[in-house]
Structure 1
């Protein structure tokens, strides 16, 4: 199977694999160690062979490909003029907060959560307001009473929803999303929904775009997405910002142009079209492989390292690891894996206070790499 092929990324300018110590296995940073689909490679190769890489713009095929994917995969019929661009989700969120907030406003997040959200909010002069998720019996739930309290503050202007949630792996139910939306609408809080991992769900779970939960959600929300996590093309730097509200969209577009960010990567256009029109068979294979890897990791920890308890994900190619029973001080936990197992994970405390005692592991790699890393962790824990 192609996904089991180990491809050396150490001298390819990969952020994930750019390590001084070549013995270290990086299971951090949310990209995959799988080669992209043949269709995407072919589309990029054809563009490369053309030999001219000047300024690019968006074509009708690009918009139609995005609309096709969201309608067939998520049953959401998009209008072309809703679709805007950003070189990445975080740059897009920075611009959105410039449009939606003033310095001193409150932005709500649900920690532990994707850590760049913190810097994004603070950069705009806003205050981070944490609606901490409740960790109960190995699963995370929303504290709706606290969310209502945070949203009701007169300075609360934006709620950044992470759906599916990174790092805890929850696929929020329609009921949960509806309840969040009702609170936000009641208090005039705009929802910015990060749906980057929406295509990486496991069997038995189905992603529901926030904007489709209720008719009133559409104009009060902005959806951030991309083919990058789904098809492993994050380096193309092409994200999709879906803004149904015309007033917000116009302001965002002016902001985008003002920062000179309105032009796409020449290769990203072709990669996106190929991914959305032809990438489903590859994605189905990846989902099955990730499901097998997820089961392998969960069973390995249960059987060999019970002190580390994986939070079983419903989506994403990441697993949130509860390491509290290791009794390693939080400030030394991350370095413990790096120094004693030569495995680099993502440091849990970066994701908020709820991440203390946790680490995040990326399972999107060939099984041999994953197995070697887990064996190293097992040895390190036994030597504690």
Structure 2
């Protein structure tokens, strides 16, 4: 019913993920990048139809979310995640990262500190440092082949007087964890006991694979859950990142007032006309497309995992509980991070290098699985041939 096999190169349209090819004058038309977390799939046809209808209307003035839009968001959260959201809890920004910036300006002062859990999505650190705040690292740790939170370390950091905010990535990018209720509740209790506000980035919440369940942080028990900020968007789920529309959900009225009081100065009071139309169509009509997509992502993960097990048994591929991003440890190849990056690029493998994600990421690669299978097959075959040529330890 849906097409997840056609490959549509995105050169020449301003796609950031594809700009590497332009900068490096790469002219092979069969190549695809496997880096930045948007997809190489067209959006659901229901969304395209809604955008065409919105375009045909012909007036694109200042736009705010209306009640039908808010109702669509609330219905999606209830249906997909069992989370009862009130329409008044929602406000818009151009993205979750801009909302993180807004939160730091609303809730902290220069010199205050923010807790992050590396290896983690690079803007978590960049937002903190660019606003004159300090980073407190609570690195994830690996136990029995699976990442977990260091809750004792989190508590030690939360007790520090300068710690004001905790940036939680849930599901976690890049390691692919979907946190359990027990893990989230423990983190919530620590933050509540120490007056640390949680900003939970849940942009990958719709990409949860069998055996895991996404728990919205705000659906937990206790004051930290009631007084948290949840960042969501249809951008990852439905490949709408270029429409720069995110929903920030805050149930506590005082906290919401502090945040929305900064909106005009930091993210603007209006939103994207087409982003609202696309998000509403996604949440009202796009669920069958998303379910079909999840099957494709799981198939792509299984293919890459099995390929690595056969061809590169020393490379650890971590379990994919959530997201569409494979996280793999290539340190066994014996290359320094810069050498690993050079090796990948020289063999036309454009991945996200693990060092970009901070502590614990060096020697890893993040591979975007949201592309037609033939793209992944071509990449894995190039990797195999290149490794054979150089005689790398497998």
8 Å contact kept, 2:102–2:266 = no
Aligned counterpart, 1:226: 233
Matched, 1:368 2:374: yes
Q: Please identify, of 135-144 and 115-124, the stretch whose mean Cα deviation from structure 2 is larger.
A: 135-144
Structure 1: gaps spanning 5 or more residues: none
Give TM-score, length-normalised by structure 1. Answer: 0.97
Q: Please identify, of 213-222 and 285-294, the stretch whose mean Cα deviation from structure 2 is larger.
A: 213-222
The 1-side partners of 2:227 and 2:261 are apart by 20
The 2-side partners of 1:205 and 1:277 are apart by 24
The 1-side partners of 2:193 and 2:375 are apart by 49
Aligned counterpart, 1:22: 27
Aligned counterpart, 2:350: 344
The 1-side partners of 2:342 and 2:272 are apart by 37
1:45 Cα deviation from its structure 2 partner: 0.3
Aligned counterpart, 2:361: 355
Indicate the SS of the match to 1:350: helix
Aligned counterpart, 2:9: 8
Structure 2: gaps spanning 5 or more residues: none
Matched, 1:269 2:270: no
Matched, 1:210 2:217: yes
1:8 Cα deviation from its structure 2 partner: 2.2
Matched, 1:289 2:301: no
Give TM-score, length-normalised by structure 2. Answer: 0.95
1:308 Cα deviation from its structure 2 partner: 2.3
The 1-side partners of 2:99 and 2:267 are apart by 13
Quote the RMSD (CA, aligned, Å).
1.2
Residue among 64, 83, 105 paired with 1:57: 64
1:299 Cα deviation from its structure 2 partner: 0.2
Matched, 1:165 2:172: yes
The 2-side partners of 1:258 and 1:111 are apart by 30
The 1-side partners of 2:140 and 2:58 are apart by 50
Matched, 1:153 2:156: no
Count of aligned positions: 383
1:139 Cα deviation from its structure 2 partner: 1.3
1:216 Cα deviation from its structure 2 partner: 2.5
Aligned counterpart, 1:36: 43
Aligned counterpart, 1:138: 145
1:187-198 matches, cutoff 5 A? 187-198=194-205
8 Å contact kept, 1:298–1:312 = no
Aligned counterpart, 2:251: 244
1:260 Cα deviation from its structure 2 partner: 5.7
The 1-side partners of 2:269 and 2:162 are apart by 31
8 Å contact kept, 1:185–1:220 = no
The 1-side partners of 2:378 and 2:315 are apart by 17
1:292-307 matches, cutoff 5 A? 292-307=299-314
8 Å contact kept, 1:305–1:381 = no
